[in-house]
Amino acid sequence: MVDQMQAGGKDYRLPRWLRIIVIGRNPRWTLIRIVILVTAVFVLRACVLLPIRVKGPSMMPTYHEGGINFVYRLAYLRSEPKRGDVVAIRLAGTSIMYMKRIVGLPGETIEFRDGRLYVNGKILNEPYATECNWDSPPKSLPPAWYYVVGDNRSMPEYFHEEGKTSRNRIVGKILLCKSLFDSSSPRF
């Protein structure tokens, strides 16, 4: 037999059931399936889902540092971002991004007074945000610009990367509500 290997009279051939599990009944079709699967994963990763790791405490308690989430790149293909969406914002390419929450929409005026966020002069209810003592003057948003900020506002405002961002810098919406692999969750 061709696929039987013998060394010193010993047979090292895999049992038929194990060979079927490992390479299938038809190795050619198994190889085709592997090529299709690798191609599908590559396209999905490149065009639809982008992994993002949370670094820093600015999105706590909603997202914990070290957690991995996915950016759904097609989320805003047919609609515009909405207030409350957690989005990925690119700085330089897709290798360095911020993960922030949209709190201000184009044409609105945003300000912080006594730690409360005001949108067009009205207090915005933010159950996801931690308390803060920020104060900042009103900022008007031009068309196609959004105001983003992290959920952890207990830090001084100057430690936060927050502010206006243009629509073309928003990569997509964070797909999962909580971190997939949360650094504070127990390890198995």
Q: What is the CATH number of the domain that holds 57?
A: 2.10.109.10
Give the pair of three-digit tokens for residue 163.
């502010």
Cα distance between residue 38 and residue 82, in whole Å:
34
CA-based end-to-end distance of the chain: 45
- Written as six digits, the tokens of 186 are 């127990």
> What is the distance, to the nearest Å, from the Cα of residue 116 to the centroid of all Cα atoms in its chain?
27
Question: Same domain, yes or no, for 70 and 156?
Answer: yes
Distance CA 21, CA 34 (A): 14
Average pLDDT over residues 83-107: 90
91 and 19 in a common domain: no
Which residues, listed in sequence order, are joined to residue 151 by a DSSP beta bridge?
A: none
Residues 19 and 74 in one domain: no
pTM, to two decimals: 0.74
Give the tokens for residue 13. Answer: 């051939």
Instruction: Note whether 130 and 101 are same-domain residues.
Output: yes
- Predicted confidence (pLDDT) at residue 74 exceeds the cutoff of 90: yes
**Percent over 90 (pLDDT), the chain:** 43
71 and 20 part of one domain:
no
Q: What's the mean pLDDT in 136-148?
A: 94
* Residue 83 Ramachandran class (φ > 0 left, ψ -120 to 50 alpha, else beta): beta
Q: Which residues does the annotation mark as catalytic?
A: 58, 100
How many other CB atoms are found less than 10 A from the CB of residue 150? 24
Given pLDDT bands bounded at 50, 70 and 90, which one contains residue 55?
A: confident
Please give the residue range of the domain that contains residue 165: 50-174
When pLDDT is cut at 50, 70 and 90, the band that residue 180 belongs to is: very low
Q: Does any domain span residue 179?
A: no
* Domain identity same for 141 and 77: yes
pLDDT average, residue stretch 98-115: 94
Q: Are residues 115 and 167 in the same domain?
A: yes
35 assigned to some structural domain = yes
Contact (Cβ atoms closer than 8 angstroms) between residue 110 and residue 104: yes
For residues 124 and 130, is the Cβ–Cβ distance under 8 A?
A: no
Same domain, 142 and 166: yes
- Both 137 and 122 in one domain: the answer is yes
Range 163-168 contact pairs with CB under 8 angstroms and sequence separation of 24 or more: 163/139, 164/139, 165/89, 165/100, 167/80, 167/81, 167/106, 168/144
Average predicted confidence (pLDDT) for the chain: 84
35 lies in the same domain as 54: no
How many domains does the chain divide into? Answer: 2
Are 52 and 88 within 8 A, CB to CB? yes
Same domain, yes or no: 58 and 25: no
User: Average pLDDT for residues 5-26, to the nearest whole number?
Assistant: 72
